[in-house]
Amino acid sequence: MEQLTVAMAKGRTATKAMKLFEQAGIYFSSLQDDSRKLVLTDDSGQVKLIFVKAVDVPTYVEKGAADIGIIGKDVLLEDPKDVYEMVDLRISACKLVVAGFPGPYPNTQLTVASKYPHVAKTFFTNKGIRTDVITLNGSVELAPLIGMADVIVDIVETGKTLKENGLVVLEEIADSSARLIVNKASFAIKTAVIQQLIGSVKEGMGVST
């Protein structure tokens, strides 16, 4: 069997994705919780896992450095890449939302803080609202609190961060969850082995193939 390279980010999604792989019969026995290793091979030697930064996963897959990637739909919406999105893994579910203080927000000109500037710009432009989008890399909820932005566009999972900072969801933009993406050339060359892996993952999830 040809070897497949899978890219994903360390963290909660990776932990859940590894469980899906186990259910699919792909085991990474050498994985240790506190390991700093960036490359890992499964027990059969056929699947190589590379750990990269989440936002870089689609780039590794598009460029063919990885055949397969596991990444949130939110990342794909922000930075669309020329890859096949093949399975909704139904893990790490969250929503991309507009959030801010309760009540209406200005509907002509808005300052928006976000880790998702493309999503934010597109969403408000489609509503005919002009925006000044401030790109931040984290702690986005702080922006309205200190008067730096009218609203934020961010992901909400449990809602805890918004609640603890006195903010609410004002509008929902999109649902997100982890997706399995595939490099287009890899799919053409390694069709059988990729389809086999996807079939096993879906079977493990209890999804009909």
Q: Is 143 helix (H, G, I), strand (E, B) or coil?
A: helix
Size, binding site for ligand PRP by CB under 6 A: 12
Give the footprint of ligand PRP on residues 107-126 (CB under 6 A). none
Q: Is 99 helix (H, G, I), strand (E, B) or coil?
A: strand
Name which position in 17, 66, 99, 140 contacts ligand PRP (CB under 6 A): 140
Is residue 15 part of the contact set for ligand PRP (CB under 6 A)? no
Q: Is 64 left (phi over 0), alpha (psi -120 to 50) or beta?
A: left
Is residue 102 part of the contact set for ligand PRP (CB under 6 A)? no
Is residue 147 part of the contact set for ligand PRP (CB under 6 A)? no
Q: Which residues of 36-73 are buried (b: 16+ CB within 10 A; e: fewer)?
A: eeeebebeeeebbbbbbebebbbbbbbeeebbbbbbbb
Q: DSSP class of residue 141?
A: T
Cβ closer to ligand PRP: 159 or 204? 159
Is residue 157 part of the contact set for ligand PRP (CB under 6 A)? yes
Is residue 138 part of the contact set for ligand PRP (CB under 6 A)? yes
Residue whose beta carbon is closest to ligand PRP: 138
